[in-house]
Amino acid sequence: MRSVVSQTAGICPPFWYLRVFALCGGLFFATCSLAQDQESAEVSGQTETATAEQQQQQRRAERAVDELEKPLYSPFIERYVLDELKQLRTDMAAQKVSLTESITDRQLSAADKAISYATDTITYFFYLIAGFSSLLVIMGWTSIRDVKEKVHSLANEEISKLVEQYEARLRSIEEQLSEKTQHIEDNRDEIELTQEVHSLWLRAGREQTPTGKIAVYDQILKLRPNDGEALTYKADAVLELDEPQWAINLCLQALQIDSQNGNAYYQLGCAYAYLEQCDEAVEYLSKALDISVTYRDEALEDSAFNKLHEYQPFVELMGIQSDEGSLKG
């Protein structure tokens, strides 16, 4: 053992052995305190048991005295009671001595076990140190400092990898948050724009003159240039000013935005009816009816198509003859 320790003395620095001895001493005192706590717990348990038995005997004696129907005046009985009390005190003193001896023996055995356990632990620990030192010599390590530096370098590499991973995750989270923030800002702007456009539509509904309506529709188109509905309603107001060609241009712009805009086809039919181009008017009105049949009733009541009531294609498209036949029937 001394030879092994002398061989490892050149490898390990002196302060390392101080740490080892300090650790062994801590293990020894911890083991001793643990064994003493266990023994004191057992002794306290036995003491409590003996105390409980004495209290039970005392209760029985008190109960027997309480149950007496007449006092005991016999000298023989008094002598008997005194002898029993004396014997009881003697037994209690003997029991106390016995408990003290058992406690002392248990404490000594616990201390003996703790000392032997600490001695074995220190011995095995030194064996472990010797084996580890021999392994280091075989592997070619010159000192524990090399192992420490290697461990530090490996730890730094792992920590740097983890830091890079978390930085990448934080960057991705930051990008996602910026995108969400931008999306929220866009939605807020869109909501404000929608509220403003809605107020303009309400204002257009309150306007009585075509010129006022056209001004409001222009404000809507300024906010939303690709609003096909605003273009078609503007075309309707323009027709009230007897500007069918202007209305046609507006409806064509609306159809470029949405080819399924039925109102745009209807306004085109009205504009061509103002221009007395019956074929074009019937054609666009037919497209509007293909999209929605609700335009039929509106076209029958619209003054723009009054000149077409005698035009046969318009009559067939609107089913005026079938309505008259049903009335005759």
- Other residues' Cβ atoms within 10 Å of the Cβ of residue 64: 9
Does the pTM surpass 0.85? The reply is no
Q: Could you tell me the end-to-end alpha-carbon distance of the chain, in angstroms, rounded to an integer? A: 130
Comparing 58 with 305, the larger pLDDT belongs to 305
* Sign of the torsion angle spanned by Cα atoms 17, 22, 23, 24: positive
Residue 291 has pLDDT above 80, yes or no: yes
Reference 302, options 255, 266, 277; nearest CA is 266
3-class DSSP assignment, residue 143: coil
For residue 78, pLDDT over 80 is answered with no
Residue 325: the pLDDT is 40
Question: Is the pLDDT higher at 12 or at 252?
Answer: 252
Q: Quick: pLDDT tens for 20-63.
A: 555 555 555 555 555 555 655 665 666 667 677 777 877 776 77
From residue 154, alpha-carbon distances to 117, 132, 143 in Å are 37, 21, 18
Convert 73-96 into a string of H (helix), E (strand) and C (coil): CCHHHHHHHHHHHHHHHHHHHHHH
pLDDT tops 80 at residue 283: yes
* Residue 276 Rama label (left phi>0; alpha psi -120 to 50; beta): left
Q: Are 298 and 266 in contact (CB under 8 A)?
A: yes
Average pLDDT of the segment spanning 225-231: 83
CA angle 316, 320, 322 (to 5 degrees): 90
Q: Is the pLDDT of residue 314 over 60?
A: yes
Kindly report which listed range (130-134, 142-146, 305-309) carries the lowest average pLDDT score: 142-146
In the structure, what pLDDT confidence band is assigned to residue 6 with cuts at 50, 70 and 90?
very low
What's residue 68's pLDDT?
60
Whole-number pLDDT of residue 1: 37
> Distance between CA atoms of 76 and 56, rounded to whole angstroms?
26
Query: Residue 12: its pLDDT value, please?
Result: 42
Q: What CA–CA distance (Å, rounded) separates 190 from 141?
A: 71
State mean pLDDT over 100-116: 84
Those residues whose C-beta lies under 8 Å from the C-beta of residue 300, and which sit 6 or more positions away, are 318
Cα–Cα distance for residue pair 251/187, rounded to 1 Å: 30
pLDDT above 50: residue 11: no
Say how far apart CA 135 and CA 314 lie, in whole Å: 108
Tell me the torsion sign for CA atoms 36, 39, 45, 47: negative
List helix spans (H) across the chain: 2-9, 14-66, 75-139, 144-206, 210-223, 228-240, 244-257, 262-274, 278-291, 295-301, 312-318, 320-328
Residues 127 and 132: their CA atoms lie apart, in Å, by: 9
Instruction: Assess contact for 220 and 212: CB atoms under 8 A.
Output: no
Q: What is the pLDDT of residue 9?
A: 41
